[in-house]
């Protein structure tokens, strides 16, 4: 006899027991492994194009002159552009453009002004309105604003509607 056969027999494992164990593994574990392989992992559903995973743009940005500066308000976006529910909103990025008094038609770039963090991602009730007060304003100057929504992977929405205001001291 070979050494392997002697060792198994020494432990009381017969040839028939080994064959039974192999059959048990084949009949029980193989279907389980096959099921795991076919079901895969991750979320269920169709594939999603990256351009669909950005928030819908804000459409209700408003600006008004206040005592402390320009008051901006806007509503929280609730969906991605592909229509799915928005669940990873992390901040809003505010841009401002100053319109030159002596040349209102001259092009001027938007510059990033501020970031407003969203801190209620894990809460059941989420804020519906957000706001910001731009205190770095000059009397008689016309300002235009746009806001972008930003999600966890740093993707940003298209720009919001443009809101314009002239700030004057009262």
How far apart, in whole angstroms, are the C-alpha atoms of residue 126 and residue 88?
12
Structure-token pair, residue 131: 């706001």
Q: Where are the domains of the chain?
A: 3-39, 50-167
Q: What is the mean pLDDT of residues 137-143?
A: 92
Mean pLDDT, all residues of the chain: 83
pLDDT above 70 covers a percentage of the chain that reads: 70
CA-based R_g, the chain, Å: 31
How much is the pLDDT for 100?
82
DSSP 136: -
Query: With bands split at pLDDT 50, 70 and 90, how would you rate the model's confidence at 10?
Result: low
Structure-token pair, residue 103: 């040349």
How much is the pLDDT for 13?
63
Tell me the three state secondary structure of residue 134: strand
How far apart, in whole angstroms, are the C-alpha atoms of residue 63 and residue 108?
19
pLDDT by residue (tens digit) across 17-60? 777 767 766 666 667 766 666 665 555 556 666 666 889 999 99
Structure-token pair, residue 139: 């009397």
In CATH terms, is domain 50-167 a member of 2.60.120.260? no
pLDDT by residue (tens digit) across 75-131? 999 999 999 998 899 999 999 999 988 887 888 899 999 999 998 876 677 789 999
Structure-token pair, residue 48: 């999603």
Residue with tokens 């392997």: 4
How far apart, in whole angstroms, are the C-alpha atoms of residue 155 and residue 51?
9
């Amino acid at each position: 006899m070979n050494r392997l056969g002697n060792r198994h027999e020494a432990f009381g494992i017969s040839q028939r027991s080994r064959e039974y164990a192999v059959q048990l593994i084949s009949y029980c574990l193989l279907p389980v492994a096959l099921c795991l392989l076919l079901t895969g992992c991750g979320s269920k559903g169709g594939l999603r194009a990256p351009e669909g995973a950005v928030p819908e743009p804000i459409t209700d940005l408003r600006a008004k002159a206040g005592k402390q500066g320009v008051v901006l308000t806007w509503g929280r976006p609730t969906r991605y552009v592909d229509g799915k529910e928005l669940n990873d909103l992390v901040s809003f990025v505010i841009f401002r453009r100053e319109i030159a008094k002596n040349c209102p038609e001259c092009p001027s770039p938007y510059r990033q002004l501020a970031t407003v963090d969203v801190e209620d991602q894990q809460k059941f009730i989420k804020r519906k309105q957000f706001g910001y007060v731009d205190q770095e304003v000059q009397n008689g100057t016309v300002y235009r604003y746009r806001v972008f929504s930003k999600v966890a992977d740093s993707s940003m929405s298209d720009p919001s509607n443009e809101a314009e205001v002239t700030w004057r001291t009262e």
